[in-house]
Amino acid sequence: GNSVTQMEGPVTLSEEAFLTINCTYTATGYPSLFWYVQYPGEGLQLLLKATKADDKGSNKGFEATYRKETTSFHLEKGSVQVSDSAVYFCALKSGGGADGLTFGKGTHLIIQP
C-alpha cells in the first residue's frame, strides 16, 4: 500500500536559517505529491504540489521537487521566518482512481526570532 515517511520534529531553527524537511514515499503507479501546512488553530492548507516526476512545486518561498528515482519530495526554504512556525504534512494521492490522501505524521517547525 501507499505510505509517506517524513522527519519527525519538532524542528527548531533561528529566523533566516535554511530549512529542509525530508519526505519519502512508497506508492504504486505515479502518485501526485503534496505539502500541507497547519497553522495553530487552523485547518490544513495546501502549500504546494507536484503531479509528475521532476516537477517542482513552489509557494511562499517554499519549494519541493518530485524525485522519482529517490521517491522523495523534500521541502525547502532558503530563509525561514517566525510566521513559518507550523506543522507541515507531506502527502500523496495515488495515481489510481481513489481521491483520498495518504499523509506523513507531520513535522512541527518552530522558528525562533
The minimum distance between CB 8 and other proteins, in angstroms, equals 8
Residues that bind other proteins (CB under 8 A): 4, 32, 34, 36, 41-46, 49, 51, 89, 93, 98-106
What CA–CA distances, in Å, run from 25 to 18, 19, 39, 57, 104?
23, 20, 24, 16, 9
And the C-alpha cell for 30? 505515479
Q: Which is nearer to other proteins, 14 or 28 (CB)?
A: 28
The minimum distance between CB 83 and other proteins, in angstroms, equals 18
Question: Alpha-carbon distance 104 to 8, whole Å?
Answer: 9
The minimum distance between CB 84 and other proteins, in angstroms, equals 19
Q: Which is nearer to other proteins, 74 or 106 (CB)?
A: 106
Q: H-helix or E-strand containing 26? A: strand 23-26
